[in-house]
Structure 1
Amino acid sequence: MDIAVMGAGAVGCYYGGMLARAGHDVVLIGRVPHVEAVQRDGLFLDTQTFQAHVPLRASTDAGAVQGAQLVLCCVKSTDTIDAAAEMAPHLAPGAMLLSLQNGVDNASRLQALLGREVAPAVVYVATEMAGPGHVRHHGRGELVIGPSAASESLAKLFAEAGVPVQISDNVMGALWAKLILNCAYNALSAITQLPYGRLVRGEGVEDVMRDIVRECLAVAQAEGVKVPGDSWDAVQQIARTMPTQFSSTAQDLARGKRSEIEHLNGYVLRKGEASGIATPVNRVLHSLVKLLETRQAD
């Protein structure tokens, strides 16, 4: 299958690399240093179970989505609007689009901007770009997608590439479950520049995380969203299964990049305000990350 990955960061490179390794024709669309490295040497896929240089195409031009039967949108939430505008003139009429992004509303935002169906996917993977053309996998890798005409074929496609896929009729609940994990870890990891395992051992941190979870669940309930599973148990599991992982927000701040905080704790804050629900812990974390971003911009 011809597949394009719009946004060749850590998530896009991991899933694009896995699909290319399984024999699909994949093009990564990303920034110059990564693209040049991939064009020269292929993508170095550095996983927990294997290491391999995977040959695949790469481009800095969104026009490379032309002809793709499947487009994985993996850009930062802050870049969703720009990515939609850049892709729109080049998308094939029958192309399937899958949003592999943080936050809960990117698929609907893309769908409104592109005027075509965009399926949301919930991503559970710990990855980082260890250098140009080098993606390092720290753990997990599964996806959750919603039921659709294409969901069974997508699940098969990914499964054959070594990526487990669950089809859920409550994708919005699954998106919120992932959002809660991000709200609990991302800002705290970014502010402290600590990995998850070290972070949770900090004095009072567990109580702060419990407060975050409670606030998020209250807002989700007001939104009519049924969050599956035990959110607090899921938060605890992350530190156990990914103890050395730094959040994507921590990685963004460390590199002087704008983070997705507006679409994480900031999203919960705005939805809480609209519903009359106080979210003081999410508010503080959102404000602190924004201050750190401002300091970097000075």
Structure 2
Amino acid sequence: MNIVVLGPGAVGSLWAYKLNLAGHNVSVYSSQNLPNLSLELDEQPALSFVNQSIELLTKADVLLVTVKAWQVEAAIEPLIKHIDERCIVVFMHNGMGAVDTVAPLLDRNPLVLATTTHGAYKPSREKVLHTGHGNTLLGGYNSKGSRCDFLAEVFNHALANCQWTENINLALWNKLAINCAINPLTAIEQCRNGDLAKEHYQEKLNQIIDEVCQVMRAEKVPITREQLEETVTQVIKATAENYSSMHQDVFYQRKTEIDFITGYLLVSAKRHNISAPTNQALYDNIKTIENSWTQS
């Protein structure tokens, strides 16, 4: 297939490299104004990817969008006129709500949502490390996208384990819940994910999970308090040595995805008249940190 990866950050670079190895024609679309980008995965040899090619974009069978949630609209809007209506647009990012804004602009295209627990980290522009093996779920956003279940096999062949789900909303809410629990805390405390297993953080984690669970139930997402706590605990343990994406954003003073993670949760909570003071405090803390960079 002809595949363009829009936003070759850590996760985008991982998928670009793996899809290339699987035999697909992969190019990238980066903000870097260079004709080619070189990517090296772990200790494997570097591969060269054509960058910012409008010609390859017009021929794309799949456009994999891996920019940050807050970058989605600005990144894709200038490219829409070059995207063929048969091109499947796959959105893979943390958080929820970003696709709702651009979906009307892509109403002719099959739209697919993806969530992954694979860990990736870029220590340099050309180097990407696969820091944790996980699972990827794909599901349709619109009716055309819902007919693209064959994509799961394509993605699975490149980077297992990938599956198609008819209820991508459940998967996205579960990922959102995990991100609400891990990302803001690790960003504020500037600690690894595994540090959240310490007794010091248990009360706050329990409060976060309680509030998230209430909102998920109001949103008709089938979940129990016990299931959610177990999932969060497992992810903290499985990614103990990793730094969350929000930790990295705060460390490098980059805009975070807080509006599409905890912010999305808070909007849903308000809609259902649910009080979420712990998540609100975390949200406010991250926004204060972000504002301090611009003021200084």
TM over 0.5: yes
- Identify the range of structure 1 (177-186 vs 113-122) with the bigger mean alpha-carbon deviation: 113-122
| 1:21-76: CA deviation from partner (whole Å, max 9, x where unpaired) | 1121111222328x67x63xx31111xxxx31242424256775221100111111
Residues 1:71 and 2:63 aligned together:
yes
- Matched with 1:28 is 28
| 2:228 equivalent among 208, 215, 231 | 231
| 2:206 equivalent among 210, 213, 225 | 210
- Matched with 2:281 is 284
| Cα shift at 1:189 | 0.7
Secondary structure, aligned partner of 1:57: strand
CA–CA distance in structure 2, aligned partners of residues 26 and 163 of structure 1: 18
Whether the 8 Å contact between 1:215 and 1:279 is mirrored in structure 2 is: yes
Residues 1:146 and 2:144 aligned together:
no
Residue type of the alignment partner of 1:125? H
| 1:149-208: CA deviation from partner (whole Å, max 9, x where unpaired) | 221x212112221321122222101100000000000001111110011232151x1121
Change (3 A) 1:62 1:196: farther
CA–CA distance in structure 2, aligned partners of residues 162 and 32 of structure 1: 26
Change (3 A) 1:198 1:123: same
Change (3 A) 1:249 1:91: same
CA–CA distance in structure 2, aligned partners of residues 127 and 134 of structure 1: 10
CA–CA distance in structure 2, aligned partners of residues 186 and 195 of structure 1: 10
CA–CA distance in structure 2, aligned partners of residues 67 and 240 of structure 1: 42
Whether the 8 Å contact between 1:26 and 1:56 is mirrored in structure 2 is: no
Secondary structure, aligned partner of 1:80: helix
| 1:269-291: CA deviation from partner (whole Å, max 9, x where unpaired) | 12111210001111000000111
- Matched with 2:143 is none
Identity %: 27
- Identify the range of structure 1 (60-69 vs 241-250) with the bigger mean alpha-carbon deviation: 60-69
CA–CA distance in structure 1, aligned partners of residues 82 and 245 of structure 2: 29
Residue type of the alignment partner of 1:10? A
Change (3 A) 1:167 1:20: same
TM-score of the pair, normalised by structure 2: 0.91
Whether the 8 Å contact between 2:136 and 2:162 is mirrored in structure 1 is: yes
1:40-55 alignment runs, 5 A limit: 42-46=38-42, 51-55=43-47
Question: Which runs of 5 or more residues in structure 2 are unaligned?
Answer: 141-145
| 2:170 equivalent among 145, 170, 173 | 173
Residues 1:126 and 2:119 aligned together:
yes
| Cα shift at 1:227 | 4.1
Secondary structure, aligned partner of 1:127: strand
Secondary structure, aligned partner of 1:3: strand
CA–CA distance in structure 1, aligned partners of residues 164 and 69 of structure 2: 23
Whether the 8 Å contact between 1:173 and 1:227 is mirrored in structure 2 is: no
Residue type of the alignment partner of 1:133? E
CA–CA distance in structure 1, aligned partners of residues 78 and 134 of structure 2: 28
- Matched with 2:197 is 200
- Matched with 1:19 is 19
Whether the 8 Å contact between 1:99 and 1:107 is mirrored in structure 2 is: yes
Change (3 A) 1:107 1:274: same
What's the Cα RMSD here?
Answer: 2.0
CA–CA distance in structure 2, aligned partners of residues 67 and 220 of structure 1: 40
Residues 1:222 and 2:218 aligned together:
yes
